[in-house]
Amino acid sequence: MSTYVLVPGMCHGGWCFEPLPEGLRAHGHRVLTVTPTGLSERAHLLTSTVNLDTHVTDVLALLEAERVDDAVLVGHSYGGMVVGSVADRAPERVRGLVYLDAFVPRDGDSCWSLTTDEQREWYLGVDDSGFAVPPLPFFDPRATAHPLATLLQRARITGPGPDCPRTYVYATRWPGLSPFAATYERLREDPAWTVHALDSAHNLMRDAPAELERILLDAG
C-alpha cells in the first residue's frame, strides 16, 4: 500500500482530482487530497502573504499530522512547484514523485520564470485585491482566485531530493504552445525519469482518467 498525496494546480482545491482517489483506494491505497491555503474551501484564508512557502508548509504539515513516510507526491500544473519543494525538504517521507502536466522546479525557478508569455499575462490580470489571480472563464465553477505570490516566489531546492521513482505526464492537446513543453523536452531524454505523453487536454483527471490511474498505480 502507498499513500498518494494529491496537490492541485492554480485556482483549484482537492476536489479537482475526483474520481481518481476512489479508483486508487479501490486498489488498497491511501489517498490524501490537499487544498492549499487561500483556495476553494480555504479561500477565506487568502491574503497577500500567501506564497509558495505557505503551500509547501501545508503539505509538510499534512505529512507530519498523518504520519506519512511513504508518500507518492502528485502535483498537477502549479502543484509541481509544491511537490518538488516538499520532496527537497522532507526526502525521507517520499517514495515517489508524479508531475501531471506540471512545472518541475530547479533551484531558483518560479512559475513566472518557467511559463510562457501568454500565461504571464494571465498572472498579471489580478483581481481587485491586487494580489490574487482570478480563474479563467472556462474553469470549474468551484475554482477560486489564486495568490499571485505563489507564482512569483522562487523555489529553494537545496539538495538532490529523495532517491525515488520520478514520473512525468505530459498533455499533448494544448490550443497553443504548452507552458510545460520546455519541461517535457528537458525530461523526456533523462534516464532518471519515466515520461508519458497522453492525448489529453491539460485537465488529465477529467480527460484521461483510466490512463492516469494506471500510471499512478505503476508509480506507487
pLDDT tens per residue across span 180-199: 999 999 999 999 999 999 99
State what percent of residues in the chain have pLDDT above 90.
96
Q: Which residues pair with 67 in a beta bridge?
A: none
Spell 66-105 as b/e; 16+ CB within 10 A means b: eebeebbbbbbbbbbbbbbbbbbbbeebbbbbbbbbbbbb
Local confidence band at 6 (pLDDT 50, 70, 90 cut-offs): very high
Q: Which residues pair with 7 in a beta bridge?
A: 75
Alpha-carbon torsion (22, 24, 28, 33), positive or negative = negative
Decide if pLDDT at 151 tops 90.
yes
C-alpha cell at 25: 483506494
User: Among 72, 74, 84, which residue's Cα sits nearest to residue 2?
Assistant: 72
Local confidence band at 91 (pLDDT 50, 70, 90 cut-offs): very high
The number of residues in the chain equals: 220
Go through the domains of the chain in sequence order and give each one's CATH number: 3-219 (3.40.50.1820)
Tell me the per-residue pLDDT of 101-142, one tens digit each, with 9 for 90 and over: 999 999 999 999 999 999 999 999 999 999 999 999 999 999
Residue 195 near residue 187, CB atoms below 8 Å: yes
Which residues have a catalytic role annotated? 77
Q: What is the pTM of this model?
A: 0.97
Local confidence band at 2 (pLDDT 50, 70, 90 cut-offs): very high
Asked if residue 19 has a cis previous peptide bond (ω within 30° of 0), the answer is yes
Local confidence band at 1 (pLDDT 50, 70, 90 cut-offs): confident
d(CA 104, CA 91): 16
Local confidence band at 214 (pLDDT 50, 70, 90 cut-offs): very high
- pLDDT computed for residue 17 by the predictor: 97
